[in-house]
Chain A
Amino acid sequence: MQPFRIEQGIAAPFPEPNVNTDVIMPKRFLKTVTRDDLALGVFADLRFAKDGGNQPSFILNRPIYQHARFLVVGDNFGCGSSREHAVWGLMQLGIRALIGTTFAGIFFDNCRRNGLLAITCPAQMRDTLLEQVSDSGRAHLKINLEDQTIRTEDGKARPFDIEPARKADLLLGRDAIAQTLEDAAAISAFETHRRTAAWAQFYRALTIRK
């Protein structure tokens, strides 16, 4: 997983609330058995016209935001389907962080597992950032995860909160599975307990019969 320490670049405003993962990654891009080539799918129905050309009015097609690295987003971003393809595609498009008030749970976890920093902040701070980055002259941000700040063009560093465990995962680009496997003995012990405890007999009976 790609670590996140300090990243800077252009942030694009994306204020719409309840942006769902069907919109972020339309289903025609899901019929794949790999994680590759998903950048083209991101917001495809908004980004591209019917003939395949760019939709000039779409925010990420405007010259200044074309290479955006961050999105400042509306409430409840990433709701709907669990498809991780949405996060893979955003990463492949070069998006490294999202700033919003609330994110849908599965999407939020998918971000963490892929090194995409989802910053949750109060509505007031999000709205201020939205307003600033909507002005193409003030759209540059520097996000420092180590000291938990977002630095805007005016030199102001705005602090944000993040749960320590998620911060550590993102800073180190940790392989969560390798980490869990260090607890293999505890998992085995739990399973043994489940198999032998009288109250848990029921779990043992979970065999799927044809």
Chain B
Amino acid sequence: MDMADARSLYRKLVKSNSVKDLGDGEVLLYIDLHVMNEYTSPQAFSGLSAAKRKVWRPEAHLAIVDHVNSTRRRGTFADPQAALLIDTLEDNCRQHGIHFIGLDDERQGIEHIVVPEQGLARPGMVIACGDSHTTTYGAFGALGFGIGTSEVEHILATQTLVYRILDDMRITIDGTLGLGVSAKDVIMAAIAQIGAGGANGCAVEFAGSAIDALSMAGRMTICNMAVELGARAALMAPSERVYAHVAQTSNAPDGPVLAEARMGWDGLRSDAEVKFSRDVSLDASAIAPLVSWGTSPDQTIPISAAIPDPGAGPDSASRRAVERALAYMGLTAGQPLSGIPIDKAFIGSCTNSRLEDLREAASILRGRQVAPNVEAIVVPGSRSVARAAEAEGLDNIFRAAGFQWRQESGCSMCLAMNDDVAKPGERVASSTNRNFEGRQGAGARTHLMSPAMVAAAAVAGHLTDVRSFKVSSDAAL
């Protein structure tokens, strides 16, 4: 094959879903599955009604309630605006014949956890959702990307989008991850190296031996958070692990269909001759457990490092940004990261609340206690994750350590658009994906890290290196 015919996995996916070439680098892209939540969809439905349009293909949509509901108890909570969002979504779905997963549904959970769990993310698909972390589905060799509400309306009305083809970027991560280092650290390392806007305009393919070695959960964590690089799509070539995951879900297609599909899926990889417009590599063995110190996800350093000096920035805008972040975070340059006291520990979100994440955190917490003055919360990514964790007794480990175990699922304190809100000035060790000002509550200070690092911080009462815990808990086995 010569270079002109070589195609990246990304371009193969775009090509197989292109209804029409619109010229000027744009295609009319067919959307196989459209996922909706309660807070970015209402205006799309009202736009549709105002224009007297109908839903093009109701069975290709799935609506899930997750952002505004309480995870403390079933049902919403005393917030009429939240109730209105949820009721509006349910009404819209009923009116248009769209599959709805509400708070009374045993499959409910965070949308990007539920979709793969139900087997609805499969290699070769194109999936869109009014939520930026739709990049998650790249873990299956599917093209997933976030859209705004106008585009939600566009898909409802046409099952397609006017789509600009992105540039191809590849991030290769070779080597073996060290003890206590997880997929979360890998993606945070990439963000720290490349920058929060470093992949703007790009579809990023993750490759390399460290990616091949990841579990399904780890693959999802990385693709999920790739949007924090500015990537509009993240992709990984599907593997046996992906096929096995799809085959064991309740919506798995019948054997013969699956067998046929697999033959097609085997072709879903970038041709060797593809020239990526950007190619970056990372050494997995050099990645340490990472923690964000600032208010942008690229403001991230190893746990053993000290808070950076604003004076070291390349220009005045970046120096001011560092100063502003330090002021917001209540930190000073040169201060060691390890030892900074925390007020809250939060394990949850579509980045890190799968069963495997909970196991990792529980392995640190077994036989240990959350420090006094730390409020620790764990919110499973879905009801299914909660039930599976309970079956393994993980809930007991969390509870015995002093964590609040939430039986209901949702976004909770990842964005604090519900009844889990950190107070002004509170410092949160968090397994989530965004450390923006006010993200977890007005004035709240977020430090992003892996679930195991959150568990370690909860026990120590301050930011700390999980590797010291790892050695001792492994020795205890």
Contacts and interface: CB of A to CB of B under 8 A. Distances in A.
Interface string B155-167: 0011110101010
Interface residues of B, number: 87
Given A80-B132, A187-B158, A113 B150 contact: yes
B173 interface: no
Contacts of B84: 31, 33
Interface in B6-26: 19-20, 22-26
Contacts of B415: 27, 81
A76 B257 contact: no
B174 interface: no
Contact of B438 (A45, A163, A191): A45
Contact of B150 (A31, A84, A208): A84
Interface stretch (A16-24, A58-66, A135-143, A147-155): A16-24
Given A104-B200, A199-B260, A209-B250, A76 B230 contact: yes
Given A74-B317, A109-B147, A201-B257, A180 B154 contact: yes
A105 interface: yes
B112 to A, nearest CB: 13
Contacts of A23: 436-438
Interface residues of A, number: 61
Interface stretch (B32-40, B344-352, B469-477): B32-40
A180 B99 CA distance: 25
A172 interface: no
A208 B120 contact: yes
Contact of B158 (A22, A109, A181): A181
Interface in B426-444: 434, 436-439, 442
Contacts of A199: 260, 263-264
B114 to A, nearest CB: 11
B418 to A, nearest CB: 10
A165 B33 contact: no
A64 B26 CA distance: 40
A157 to B, nearest CB: 25
A117 B143 CA distance: 27
A122 interface: no
A118 to B, nearest CB: 12
Which residue, B33, B118, B124, B321, has most C-beta atoms of chain A within 10 A?
A: B321
Given A22-B438, A76-B195, A208-B59, 6 more contacts: A17-B321, A18-B298, A34-B46, A84-B43, A201-B260, A209-B250
Interface of B: 19-20, 22-26, 28, 30, 32-33, 39-40, 42-43, 46, 51, 53, 56-57, 59-60, 62, 68, 79, 81-82, 84-85, 88, 99, 118, 120, 122, 124-125, 130-132, 146-151, 153-154, 157-160, 162, 164, 166, 195-197, 200-201, 230, 232, 250-251, 253-254, 257-258, 260-261, 263-264, 296, 298, 317-318, 320-321, 324, 415-417, 434, 436-439, 442
Interface of A: 15-18, 20, 22-23, 26-27, 30-35, 45, 74-76, 79-84, 87, 102-107, 109-110, 113-114, 163-165, 176-177, 179-181, 183-184, 186-187, 190-191, 194, 198-199, 201-203, 205-209
